[in-house]
Amino acid sequence: MRGKPLSCACLPGWPALMPEKSTGRAALCIACAIATSKNLLWIGHKPGIKARLTAMENLRFLHQHDDIAQCREALKKAGLAGFDDIPVNQLSAGQQQRVALSRLWLTRARLWILDEPFTAVDTEGVERLIQRMAQHTEPRRHRHFHCPSIN
């Protein structure tokens, strides 16, 4: 097992991904439980946002958030102040990634799975994200664990 299957297999207390011998793909044995969990935030390597919606509309949809001020603050912290009402399809790839990653300032999920979060993000954006990740992983809030290599 390598890559994402290995990463998920290392999550303590979580069932591992079950590799399918015939295809080499991994099938989640608890996909529904994980997908609906309020303790998990998954942001894939593609932004996963709706191109025709604005940055604000995307955030409100993804988080079912009525608090416009909180969404606006999340966009600001992600470096997108003033981009609230611009359709995502008019933003650069890096800005689109920031829209997706602005969810990190809204979520209450304890476990974040981020696949290539820095793709297309500029240096300033990377710094903002690193700071947010550091806040999220403060020693008082999380236990660190070692994941041995599995071949």
113: exposed, middle or buried (C-beta count within 10 Å: 0-12, 13-18, 19+)? middle
- The domains of the chain are located at 1-36, 37-151
Q: What is the pTM of this model?
A: 0.71
Report residue 34's pLDDT band, with 50, 70 and 90 as the boundaries.
low
Q: Which amino acid is at 133?
A: M
Mean pLDDT of 89-114: 93
* Radius of gyration, alpha carbons of the chain: 17
Q: Which residues, at least 6 apart from 4, have a Cβ–Cβ distance to it below 8 Å?
A: 17, 26, 115
d(CA 88, CA 90): 5
**How crowded is residue 63: how many other Cβ atoms within 10 Å of its Cβ?**
18
d(CA 79, CA 98): 7
Give residue 39's pLDDT.
Answer: 80
Dist CA 55 CA 85 (whole Å): 6
Q: How far from the centroid of its chain's Cα atoms is residue 32's Cα?
A: 18
Mean pLDDT of 85-102: 96
What pLDDT is stored for residue 140 in this prediction?
A: 62
Q: In the predicted model, what is the mean pLDDT of residues 33-51?
A: 79
pLDDT reported for residue 141: 57
User: Nearest to residue 147, comparing CAs of 29, 20, 11?
Assistant: 11
Percent of all residues in the chain with a pLDDT value above 70, rounded to a whole number:
66
Selected residue with higher pLDDT from 110 and 119: 119
Closest C-alpha among 128, 61, 78, 60 to residue 69: 60
Which pLDDT score, from 0 to 100, does residue 16 have? 45
- Rounded-to-integer distance, Cα 80 and Cα 96, Å: 10
Tokens of 76: 């600001």
User: Yes or no: is domain 37-151 CATH 2.30.30.100?
Assistant: no
